[in-house]
Amino acid sequence: MDHRKPTNLIKIDEIFDILKGEIHLDNGPQPVPHNFYQNISNLVSLLKEQNEKENNETTEKISKEINSNLINLVVRLTTLIFVLRCKKFLIVQNHKICLNTLILQMKKNTCFSEIEKESKELT
């Protein structure tokens, strides 16, 4: 099965929409389609392949430049999405670590331990 068939290619609008969604969401990374990065890879591969096939005609030079610009755009959009998702993931992980540290500190506190014992006795 050829993964680079036109039906499997992602549109730049779709990549841009995911980037916009990632920018607007504050509570962690948004879900993306399971094949999102693979489809982007297929698109970039196909565009690069087209660039390599073209010869020296003026229109082909223009087409090659357009393809190169599209590749750069797709790579930049994808990089932004990936960086934003990584930052959000690290922030979420950092909050979890901070929360766990706080809980551990509270458990060390004798007052908290007494409250915890009392609550266990009541249940």
- Total of domains in the chain: 1
Neighbours of 14 (CB within 10 A): 16
Residue-level pLDDT at 4: 46
- Residue 59 domain-assigned? yes
Query: CA torsion sign, 11 to 15 to 18 to 20?
Result: negative
Q: Is residue 118 part of a domain?
A: no
Please report whether residue 70 resides in a domain: yes
Residue 34 CA to residue 31 CA, distance in Å, equals 9
* Residue 22 domain-assigned (yes or no): yes
pTM: 0.64
pLDDT tens over the chain, length 123 residues: 344 455 567 888 999 999 999 988 888 888 898 899 999 999 998 888 887 776 656 667 778 888 888 998 999 999 999 988 888 888 877 777 777 776 676 666 655 555 556 555 655
In-domain check, residue 121? no
Chain mean position to CA 79: 8
Query: For the chain, how long is the longest CA-to-CA vector?
Result: 85
Q: Which stretches of 9-109 are DSSP H helices?
A: 12-24, 36-53, 58-108
Residue 47 forms part of a structural domain: yes
Residues of the domain holding 34: 6-88
